[in-house]
Amino acid sequence: MSTSAVRNDSTASPGGNRWVILVCAVLVQLAIGSVYAWSVFAKALQSDAAFGWSKSKAAVPFSVVIGMIFVGSYVGGRLQDARGPRVVAMTGGVIYAVGVILASFAQSADSFWLLVLGYGVIGGFGLGMVYIVPIAMLQKWFPDKPGLITGLAVAGFGFGAVVTAPVGQALIDQSPSVPTKAFLWLGIGYLVILLVCTSVFRNPAVLPDVTGATSKDAPRVENGTGPRDFTPSEAMHTKQWYLLTAILTMSVTAGISLIAVAAGTATDVAGYSTAAAAALVGVLGLFNGAGRIFWGWISDMIGKMPAFLGILGIQGICLLLIPHASSTALFAVLAALVYLCYGGAFGTMPSTAGTFFGVKNVGAIYGLMLIGWSIGGVVGPLLIASLIGSEKAYNLGFTVIGVITLVALVLPLVTKKPRHEPAPVEDRHGTGASRR
C-alpha cells in the first residue's frame, strides 16, 4: 500500500472509521465514569429513612471499586493486546453491568456485603477491563495526536458523574427507603450502551502514517523502521516504568487530597455555605474532565515531561495557597486548577506510556501503571484527613501535601525515554532472523 493510501486510511482505515470509534469510546467512558457519582448513593444510604449507614460504611463500596479498577485494567490490558479490543470491552461491559444490577438486590441494611460484592468487586473489575481498552486502542488509531485523543477518551470518564448524578438522584427519589433499587435501571442502561458502543471497537488494519505527525513526542518512522515495542516484562525492567508510575501516584495523591475534603474545606476556609460548597464541588468536576483534554493536548505540543512539570507544579503551589484563600473567588480558582491538573495526569499518562514503550502492548503496560491510581486514591484521603484532624488544621494538612508534591517535581526532570533498538529488518519481514 502506498504512503498516500495509508495516509488516507488514517480517517477511514480498513476495519472502521476512527472518528466513529472515538465517539463510541467517549460514550463508553461516560457510562463507566458514573462511578464518580457514588456520593449521591452514599448520601442516600446514610439517611435514617433508608439504611442509616455511617459515612465510613457507605464509602466502602466506592473504595473497593477503586481498588478493583487496577486489577481489571491489568487483566483487560493483557487480554486486549492479545485478543483485540472488542471482545475484551464487551466482556468487561457485561461484567460491570451485571455487578451494578446485582447491587440492586441489596435492599436492606443487612445486605451490605452483597452491595460490596456486586458494585465493588464485580462492578469494579468489569469497569477496569472496559476503562483500559479505549486508551490503548485509540493510540493506534491516532498516533499523530495521542495525548489529545486519549485525553478526550478519559475526559468522558471524568464527566461521567455530571451525567449520572442527576439521573441517579431521580431514580433514588422514586424509592428513597431503598436507594439501591436505582442500580437495576442504571445497570440495564449501562449494559445497552456498552454493548452497542463497544461493538465497533477494533484495531486499525494498517497503522496510520505518522511521518508528518505534529506531536512533539510522536515516533518518527524512517525507511520503514522505528522503535521496537516493549513487552510488559521488558517495560517493568526499566527504571522509566517506575518513574512514570511514581509521577501518576504523586499527581493522584495531590489532587485527591483536595477532592476528598473539598466541600468541608470550602466551608471552613473560604466561608461557603453548605449548599454553595456542594454546588462548587459539582462545578469542579467539570474541571476534572476538562483537564484530561487540555493537558493531553498540551503534552502533544510541549512534550510529556514538561507537561508533568506543569501538572505537579501547579498542584503543589495551589495546595500551599488554599488554606489561606479566605476569598470565595480565590478558593474556587485554586481548587479548579488542582482539579484541572488531577484530571490532566489521567489524560497525559496513557499517551506517555505509548510514547515510551510503544503502542502494541500499551494496554497491559499502562494497566499496570494504574496501581498508582489505587495507591494515591488510598494514601491521599487518609493522609489529608489525619493531618487536618478534628482540630481542622487545614494549614498543616495542605502545606504537607503541597511540599511533597513540589518535591516530586524531580521525577519528570530525571525521566527520559528508554533506549530500545529497532528490530532487525530481516525479523520484521519474517525472514527468520532472530531478534535481539
As a CATH number, domain 232-414 is: 1.20.1250.20
- Given a contact cutoff of 8 angstroms between Cβ atoms, the answer to whether 281 and 194 are in contact is no
Burial (CB count <10 Å: 0-12, 13-18, 19+), residue 56? exposed
Q: Residue 372 corresponds to which cell in the numbers above? A: 498508582
Q: At what angle do helices 146-174 and 274-302 cross, to 10 degrees?
A: 160
Mean pLDDT of 33-37: 80
pLDDT(423) > 70? no
Q: Where are the domains of the chain?
A: 15-198, 232-414
Q: Dump pLDDT digits (tens) for 167-195.
A: 888 898 898 889 899 999 999 999 999 99
Mean pLDDT of 154-163: 80
CATH superfamily of 15-198: MFS general substrate transporter like domains (1.20.1250.20)
pLDDT at 184 (0 to 100) = 95
Q: How far apart are CA 291 and CA 324, in angstroms?
A: 24
Give φ, ψ of 359 to 5 degrees: -95, -10
Among 53-62, 90-99, 118-127, 216-225, where is mean pLDDT lowest?
Answer: 216-225
Q: Which long-range contacts (CB under 8 A, 24 or more apart) does 301-304 make?
A: 301/215, 301/216, 302/216, 303/216, 303/217, 304/147, 304/217, 304/348, 304/351, 304/352, 304/355
pLDDT tens digits along 197-255: 999 999 887 655 544 454 555 554 444 444 578 988 899 999 999 999 999 999 999 99
Flag whether pLDDT at 402 surpasses 50.
yes
- 16 pLDDT band, cuts 50/70/90, is low
Residue 271 has pLDDT above 70, yes or no: yes
On the question of a common fold for 15-198 and 232-414, the answer reads yes
The C-alpha cell of 239 is what?
Answer: 527504571
Under 8 Å CB-to-CB from 4, ≥6 apart: which residues? Answer: none
CA–CA dist 165, 139 (Å, integer):
30
- 256, 381 Cβ separation under 8 angstroms: yes
Overall average pLDDT of the 75-89 stretch:
86
